């Protein structure tokens, strides 16, 4: 996994730069990342799992992060992510993405009642721990903040200071919904790896240029050997 040095933010927030709980959502692998099917074929589910494993590993390596909770009902993903050090939370609401994230945030607050919590996309295979830390250190005290994705339409991270409800509104044009909800928009420089989520083959090609984690690199190599393409 690519790592970099944590640099101080020129516009820091005031949430303590440690003790974060991150909640990652993961659909059952049989249905995850459907838009990758055209370019990944039979390796689509393998890529979805690889993305989640590389994202979780990078998050766990971030000095600001105390724990990673993955909300999933997929048995294979649950076993591999638990082995990698994540806490696996069953999707008990089973009411979609935002309900799963809110459930995970509540479970995180049971673990650390006075700690900050964030929802993070599980498809950030190029994620770098230092870049994640630079985003988290900008979250304002007593408030919420979010990071838009690379296209500027969706959201890859939504964070809430201690004592603040996460109130996720992911999916589609979530950037505008999170902004309208009062969350502060974060646009720091040099955090491309935290913004580059992967939904399509073109997205994967961009992530590969940034430099992906080992599990994604392995599956992408198999895909290339089979004559597939990431783009």
Per residue in 37-51, pLDDT (tens digit) is: 999 999 999 999 999
Name the percent of the chain lying above pLDDT 90.
89
**pLDDT at position 5:** 36
Question: For the chain, what is the total number of helices (H) and then of strands (E)?
Answer: 9, 7
CA distance 220 to 47: 8
Give the gyration radius of the chain's Cα atoms.
16
Domain extents in the chain: 20-225
Residue 228 has pLDDT above 80, yes or no: no
pLDDT, tens digit, for every residue of 110-157?
999 999 999 999 999 999 999 999 999 999 989 999 999 999 999 999
DSSP 151-179: TSSSEEEEEE-TT-------SSSHHHHHH
Residue 105 has pLDDT above 70, yes or no: yes
Mean pLDDT score across all residues of the chain? 92
Q: Give me the sign of the Cα torsion angle 179, 182, 188, 194.
A: negative
For residue 199, the 8-state DSSP code is S
- Residue 106: CB atoms within 10 A of its CB come to 14
Backbone angles phi, psi at 131, to 5 degrees: -70, -40
pLDDT, tens digit, for every residue of 75-92?
999 999 999 999 999 999
**pLDDT at position 1:** 41
pLDDT band at 18 (very low <50, low <70, confident <90, very high): confident
Q: How far is CA 216 from CA 62, 63, 125, 159, 212, in A?
A: 19, 23, 7, 26, 6
Q: In the predicted model, what is the mean pLDDT of residues 84-110? A: 97
What is the reported pTM? 0.92
Q: Which fold has domain 20-225?
A: Spore Coat Polysaccharide Biosynthesis Protein SpsA; Chain A (3.90.550)
**pLDDT at position 229:** 56
């Amino acid at each position: 996994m690519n790592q970099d040095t944590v640099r101080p933010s020129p516009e820091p927030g005031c949430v303590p730069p440690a003790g974060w709980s991150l909640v990652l959502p993961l659909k059952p692998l049989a249905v995850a990342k459907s838009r990758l099917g055209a370019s990944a074929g039979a390796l689509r589910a393998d890529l979805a799992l690889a993305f989640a494993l590389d994202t979780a590993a990078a998050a766990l390596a971030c000095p600001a992060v105390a724990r990673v909770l993955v909300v999933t009902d997929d048995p294979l993903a649950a076993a591999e992510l638990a082995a990698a050090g994540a806490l696996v939370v069953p999707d008990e609401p089973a009411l979609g993405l935002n309900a799963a994230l809110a459930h995970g945030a509540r479970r995180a607050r049971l673990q650390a009642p006075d700690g900050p919590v964030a929802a993070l996309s599980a498809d950030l295979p190029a994620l770098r721990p230092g870049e994640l830390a630079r985003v988290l250190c900008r979250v304002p005290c007593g408030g919420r903040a979010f990071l838009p994705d690379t296209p500027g339409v969706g959201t890859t991270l939504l964070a809430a200071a201690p004592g603040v409800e996460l109130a996720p509104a992911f999916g589609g044009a979530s950037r505008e919904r999170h902004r309208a909800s009062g969350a502060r928009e974060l646009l720091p420089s040099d955090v491309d790896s935290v913004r580059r989520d992967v939904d399509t083959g073109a997205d994967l090609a961009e992530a590969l240029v940034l430099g992906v984690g080992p599990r994604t690199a392995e599956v992408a190599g198999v895909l290339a050997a089979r004559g597939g393409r990431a783009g």
